[in-house]
Amino acid sequence: MSFPWLTTLIVLPLVGAVALWVLPASLRTRARGVALGFALAELALFVVALTQFDTGAAGTHQLTELHHWIPALGVSYAVGVDGVGMLLIGMSLLLVPLVVLAAWREQGSETVASDRLRQYLALVLALTAFIVAVFAARDVFLFYVLFEAMLIPVYFMIGGFGGPKRRYAAVKFLIYSLAGGLVMLVGVIALYLQGPRGAEGFLTANLTGLPLDPTTERWLFLAFFLAFAIKAPMFPVHTWLPDAAEQAPAGTSTLLVGVLDKVGTFGMLTLCLPLFPAASRWFAPAVIVLALVSILYGALLAIGQKDLMRLVAYTSVSHFGFIVLGIFAFTSTSVAGSSFYMANHGFSTGALFLVAGFLVARRGSQQIADFGGLQKVVPVLAGLFLVIGLSALSLPGLSTFVSEFLVIVGTFARHPAAAVVATLGVVLAAIYVLWTYQRVFTGPVRPGLEGMADLRSHERWAVAPLVAIMLVLGFVPAPALDLVRPPAAVTLEQVGVTDVPTTAQGGDR
Amino acid sequence: MSFTAPHVDWAAIAPVAVVLVAAVVGVLLEAFVPARVRRTTQVAVAFAALAGALLAVALLWPSVRDDGGRDVIGGSLAVDGVTLVVQATILVLSIVALLVIADRTSTGLDAFAPSAASIPGSDYEALARTKGLQQTELYPLLLFAVGGMLVFPATSDLLVLFVALEVLSLPLYLMTGMARRRRLLSQEASLKYFLLGAFASALLLFGIALLYGYSGSLKLSEISAATQQVTGTESLLLVGAVLVMAGLLFKVGAVPFQAWTPDVYQGAPTPITAFMSACTKIAAFGALLRFVYVGLPGMQWDLQVVLWTVAIATMVVGTVVALVQTDIKRVLGYSAVAHTGFILTGVVALNEQGLHGTLFYLLAYGAASVGAFAVVWLVRERSVGADGGEGDVLGEATHLSQWAGLGRRHPVLAGVFTLFLLSFAGIPLTAGFIGKFSVFSAAVEGGAWPLALVGVLSSAAAVFFYVRIVVLMYFTEPAVPGAPEQDGGTAAVEQAPVEQAPVEAAPVEASGATAATLTAERTATGERTVTTTVVRGRGVVAAVTVCAVLTVLLGVAPQPVLDAIASIATFLP
C-alpha cells in the first residue's frame, strides 16, 4: 500500500494541537514558534503530497485510503481528493501559518506568548486537521461527522477569544450550523437506506447514481442543501456570519470565512450535485435566483456597513452568491470557475480580514468612521489594503478576476439574464471596496491617528504570500485551472447535462 | 389443585441471586458488625456483589449467544440476549455509581444524612451529626434496588414484573429522602416520588388485571398468542396494555408522567441521582422493550399512536422546559426527560435495529449521565469565614450562576463536563451521537421519519441549554463573593432556587427561608456569602474517568459494542 498522505496530513496538525496543550510550562513562551513550525511542516508535507498527485487525472479521486470504521453502521474511513479537493486543501494550509503569524501579538502576547494564545493556536491546529479531513472525506457519514465536529473548535475560537458580544455570536453560529446539520443528518440516514447498505454503505461512490424516487430525491436534496446554504452562507440564512465575523478575532474570521464556509459550497459541488442529479436540475432555477439575491443583497449591505469586519463579511455573502451561481449554471466553464473562485476567495477574503484585523488592532475600534487619512501614516498597510481590496472587486491581473470572469461567462452561455444581473454585483463591489478605502485611507488624518505604526515584519509576512499568489495565479492561472477543469467535466457528466460551449475559454489567455 | 414447585435454573438467575443475597447479608451485617467497621464492610460487600453479578452475566454470555437463552422458574423470567445486555449495562453503571456513592471526598462526608430518621433541624439531628453516625443501611438498599432492576427487564410474567417494580422502587424512594443537606427538599422529593410512584404502580396493577381478564394468563407469550384471536373483548386488551405501559412510562419519565423527574433528581442526594438517572431508566426501558416487542407484537398499529404521541411530547416538553431552568440538577433532569423521548424513538421503530439502537443509546446515555452527576457532586459551595478566609465546604453549588468561570479555574473538570454535555447534545465523535444516529436511523427505516425529524429539531434546540452551561463555565467571569449585588443571589441559592430566572440575570430574592435554616452546618450569622469550590475524591474521579473514557470510546470506536449487541440481543419468543 502506498504512503497514507492524506491521513498524515490530518494527523500532523492534531499532534501539533496536543503538543501545544501539553507543552511543559518552561517551554510555553515558545508556543508561537511551535505552532508556526507545525503549520509550516504541514504546508511542506502538502507540497510533497502534491507531487504524488497526478494532475493529468485530476477528475478522479487520488491518494485514496479506505478502512472500515463502524461496519455495523456502514461507515468507513475513506479519504481521497480530486483536483478541487487538492486546491482547497492547499489554500487552507497556506492560510494556517499566516493566521498563526497574524495572531503573533494577540490575546495579550505583546512580548511573550500568553497562555491564552497557546490555547488559541492549539485550537487553530486542531481545526486544521478537521479542515483537511472534511475536504478529503469520501464517505458521507465521515463527511457529516467532520462537518459537525469542526463546529466545536470554531465555537471556542469565537466564544473564548472574540469581542465583547462574542458569546452571543458564538451561540448564534453554533445553533444555526447545528440546526442545518441535524436536518442533513435525517437526509444522510434516509439516503443510506436508499443505497446498497452493508459495511461500505456510506461510501460516496456507493451512493452516487442511485435510482431515487423523484419526490424522495427532492426532499433529500433539500435536507443537504439547507445545511450547505447555512454554511456557505446564502441569503436568507446568512445572518449568523456578520455577527460571528464582527466578534471573532481576525484570524478566526479568516479561517471561518476563507475556509470553513467553503465546506458549504464544496458540499453542494461534491455531494448535492452527484448524489441528487435530477433534483439538482429541478431546483437549479430556484437556487440561481437565491444566488443572485445573495450577490446583490450582500453587496448592497456591504456598502451600508459602518463596521469594518461586518463589511468584509457581507462582501463574502456576495462572493458566495457568485460561487453558487457558477455551480448551478451547469456549464464546464462556470463550474470550473466556481471551483477556482473558492480558492481565490479564501486568499482574497482571508487577506482582507487579516489587514482589517491589523487596522482594528492599531485603532482599537472596528468603526470605519474612526479611521481617516491613514495613507500618509501607514503607507505599506494602505498599499496592501488597496491591492487586496482590488482583488475583492476582481481587478484583471489578480486571480479573482479569472474565476469571476469564468463564472459569469459560463453562466451567460446558459442563463444570459442571470449573468447580466450578476455583473451588477461586480459594479457594486467597486463601490464598497473603493469607498471603504477612501474613508479609511484618504482625506485628512483623523486626530489621534498620527502615531499609528506601520506593519511589522511578521505582519507583512502574514499577508505578502497571499498577494503574491493572487498575482501569480492572476497572470498564470493554468496550473490551478488544470486542477479544476477535469472535475468540472466529471460533475457535469454526473448531473447529466450537456455542456454549453462558451465563446471564451478563460484559461488559455 | 396441587402445586408443583418450578425447577430453578440457578446458573441462569445467578446475577440476580448474587445481588439479592448480598442485600440480605447486608441487612444482617447492619445488626452484627460493630459500627466502627460497618461502613467499610458494607461498601466491600456491595462492590463484591455487583462485580460478582457482572461476572455471572459474563459467564452466561457465550451460552446465551449460541442458543438464544432460556425461560427459567416456570417461564416467569427470560434469560435471553436482551436481558443480559440490559443487566450488564445496569451492573457496569451501578458499579461506577457506587464509586461515587461510597466516596466521602476530601470533605470527609458522604452525601447522606447521619440519621435519616431524625427530624430536620432537631436536636436529635445535631446529636447524630456530632456523634458521627452514618446511615450504612444505604448499601443494602442500593443492592435491593439493583436486584429489582436486574429482574425488571427479564420478566416475561406480569406479576413478576410488578414485584420487580416494587423491589426496585421502594429502596429508591428511601434513598431519595436521605440527603445530608437540604433535607426538606430531599424528603419532599422522596414523598412526591413515592406518591406518584404508588399511583403508577396502581395503574400498572390494574392494567395487569385487565390483561389477565382478557387473556386468562399473566405470561407475555400467552397474552401475545391471545391477541391473535378475535374474542370481542379487545377493549380490555387495549385499556390493559395502555395502563401497563403507563406504569412503565412513569418509570422512564416520559410525558405525561415526567412531573416527578426534575423534582426527584434535584432533591435526591446527587450520587443517588447519578445512580437512578442511569440505572432506573435502563431497567425500565428493558421492561418496556420486552412488553412491547414480546407481549404485544400483534398490536403494533394500535400502540403506535400512543407511543408516537408520547415520544413526540416527551422530546418537545423535555427540551422546551429545560431551556428555562436555572438549577443544574433540574437542567439535567429535564434533559433526561428529553432523552427518554429520543430513546422512545428507537422503541417505536419496532424493528431489530430499533432494539439494538435503544440498547446502545441506554449505555451511551447512562455513561454520560452518571458522569455528569458525579461532576455536579464535586462542585460545592464554600462559605466565607468571618475573617474573609475560606470557610467550610457546604453542599453542591447547583445554581447555574455558581458555575460561572469554572472552566478557568478547573479546566480538566469543566472539560470533562463539557464532554458529557456534548454527548447529551449528540455532537459527533461522542457516544451520544452514535446513539442518536442508531435510534433515528431505525426510526426512519421503520417509517417513523416524522419522529426522527422532531428528534433532530429538539436536539438542535437542546444544544442551546447544553451550550449555555459551556458558555457559563468558559466564557463568563465568576461572581465575586461579598459584592453588594451578590447577597440577593446568594440568598436565592441557599433556598434551593426553583424560580425560573434567566441565567445571565442576577437571581431574584426568594421568599421564605425554610431551606436556608436547614443547612445547619453553616454559621447562622447575617453574612451568608458563599463561593464555589471543587472538592476532590478518588472514587468520584475514577467514576468520572470511566464515564469519560466510555463516552469517547463509544463515540470513536463503537464497533465492538455494536457487534456485541447485534450478536446477542434477541428476545425469546
Q: What single string gives the DSSP state of each residue in A184-197? A: HHHHHHHHHHHS--
Percentage of residues of chain B with pLDDT beyond 70: 90
CA distance B323 to chain A (A): 14
Contacts of B421 in chain A (CB under 8 A): none
Q: Mutating which of A146, A154, A186, A216 best tests the B interface, going by the most B Cβ atoms within 10 A?
A: A186
Question: Given CA atoms B206, B209, B214, B220 in this order, what sign does their dihedral have?
Answer: positive
The Cα B264–Cα B186 span in angstroms is 8
Q: Which three cell numbers stand for residue A170?
A: 458564538
pTM (predicted TM-score): 0.87
User: What pLDDT shows up at residue B503?
Assistant: 37
Contacts of B428 in chain A (CB under 8 A): 144-146, 148-149
User: What pLDDT shows up at residue A502?
Assistant: 66
Closest CA to B65 of B55, B79, B86: B79
pLDDT one-digit tens code per residue, B200-237: 999 999 999 999 998 888 998 888 888 888 777 788 88
pLDDT one-digit tens code per residue, A320-360: 999 999 999 888 888 888 999 999 998 998 888 888 888 88
User: What pLDDT shows up at residue B509?
Assistant: 36
Nearest CA in chain B to A119: B411
Domain assignment present for B573: no
First to last CA, chain B: 29
B306 pLDDT above the threshold of 90? no
pLDDT one-digit tens code per residue, A472-495: 988 888 888 888 888 888 888 888
CA distance A326 to chain B (A): 31
Question: CA angle B63-B64-B70, nearest 5°?
Answer: 115
pLDDT one-digit tens code per residue, A241-292: 888 888 888 888 888 888 888 899 999 888 888 888 888 889 989 999 999 9
Distance from CA of residue B474 to its chain's centroid?
A: 28
User: What pLDDT shows up at residue A509?
Assistant: 42
- The mean per-residue pLDDT over the stretch A419-448 comes to 87
User: What pLDDT shows up at residue A102?
Assistant: 81
Contacts of B468 in chain A (CB under 8 A): 171
CA distance B356 to chain A (A): 11
Cis amide linkage into residue A233, ω under 30° from 0: yes
Answer whether A406's CB lies under 8 Å from A344's CB: no
Of B467, B468, B563, which has the smallest distance from its Cβ to A72's Cβ? B563
Give the CA distances from residue B516 to residues A135, B394, B395, B411, in Å, rounded to whole numbers and listed in that order: 57, 12, 12, 31
Contacts of B475 in chain A (CB under 8 A): 159-160, 166-167, 170
Nearest CA in chain B to A150: B428
User: What pLDDT shows up at residue B196?
Assistant: 93
Nearest CA in chain B to A162: B475
Tell me whether residues B441 and A193 touch, CB distance under 8 A.
Answer: yes
- Helix axes of B538-556 and B81-102: crossing angle, nearest 10 degrees: 150
Give residue for cell 454470555.
Answer: B61
pLDDT one-digit tens code per residue, B407-457: 888 888 999 999 999 999 888 889 999 999 999 989 888 888 888 889 988
CA distance B370 to chain A (A): 23
Where residue A109 falls among pLDDT bands split at 50, 70, 90?
low
Sheet with strand B379-384: strands edge to edge: B390-396, B379-384, B530-534
Q: What is the identity of the amino acid at A203?
A: L
Of A174, A190, A192, which has the smallest distance from its Cβ to B463's Cβ? A174
pLDDT one-digit tens code per residue, A134-176: 999 989 999 999 988 888 888 888 887 877 788 888 888 888 8
The region of weakest confidence among A149-153, A162-166, B379-383, B470-474 is A162-166
Q: Which of residues 374-433 of B touch A (CB under 8 A)?
A: 422, 427-429, 433
User: What pLDDT shows up at residue B472?
Assistant: 85
Domain assignment present for B123: yes
Answer whether B311's CB lies under 8 Å from B345's CB: yes
Percentage of residues of chain B with pLDDT beyond 90: 45
Where residue B491 falls among pLDDT bands split at 50, 70, 90?
very low
Question: CA angle B42-B43-B45, nearest 5°?
Answer: 65
The Cα A357–Cα A361 span in angstroms is 6
CA distance A296 to chain B (A): 31
User: What pLDDT shows up at residue A110?
Assistant: 66
The Cα A489–Cα A52 span in angstroms is 22
Domain assignment present for B1: no
The region of weakest confidence among A393-402, B282-291, B476-485 is B476-485
Query: Among B28-32, B78-82, B88-92, B500-504, which range has the highest average pLDDT?
Result: B88-92
The Cα A143–Cα A169 span in angstroms is 25
Where residue B300 falls among pLDDT bands split at 50, 70, 90?
confident
How many structural domains comprise chain B?
1
Give residue for cell 495579550.
Answer: A108
Instruction: Tell me which H or E stretch contains B207.
Output: helix B183-215
User: What pLDDT shows up at residue B480?
Assistant: 55
Boundaries of domain holding B358: 14-516+525-568
- Phi/psi for B12 (5° steps) reads -70, -30
Q: Which of residues 51-110 of B touch A (CB under 8 A)?
A: none
pLDDT one-digit tens code per residue, B58-82: 999 999 988 888 888 888 899 999 9
User: What pLDDT shows up at residue B522?
Assistant: 40
Domain segments of chain A as ranges: 5-499
Question: What average pLDDT does chain B have?
Answer: 85
The Cα B59–Cα B73 span in angstroms is 19
Question: What average pLDDT does chain A have?
Answer: 85
- The mean per-residue pLDDT over the stretch B15-34 comes to 93
Any alpha helices (H) in B253-350, and if so which ranges?
A: 260-267, 270-290, 300-322, 328-348
User: What pLDDT shows up at residue B67?
Assistant: 87
Answer whether B551's CB lies under 8 Å from B415's CB: no
- Phi/psi for A349 (5° steps) reads -70, -35
- A vs B: CB pairs below 8 A: 87
Give the CA distances from residue A393 to residues A368, A388, A430, B477, in Å, rounded to whole numbers and listed in that order: 19, 9, 6, 42
Tell me whether residues B474 and A160 touch, CB distance under 8 A.
Answer: yes
pLDDT one-digit tens code per residue, A49-72: 888 888 888 788 888 888 888 888
Q: Which of residues 444-503 of B touch A (CB under 8 A)?
A: 444-445, 449, 452-453, 456-457, 459-460, 463-464, 467-468, 471, 474-476
- The mean per-residue pLDDT over the stretch A292-319 comes to 89
- The mean per-residue pLDDT over the stretch B341-348 comes to 91
Q: Is A190 on the interface with B (CB under 8 A)?
A: yes
Tell me whether residues A70 and B464 touch, CB distance under 8 A.
Answer: no
Distance from CA of residue A105 to its chain's centroid?
A: 25
B266 pLDDT above the threshold of 50? yes
Tell me whether residues A186 and B475 touch, CB distance under 8 A.
Answer: no
Q: Mutating which of B444, B477, B567 best tests the A interface, going by the most A Cβ atoms within 10 A?
A: B444
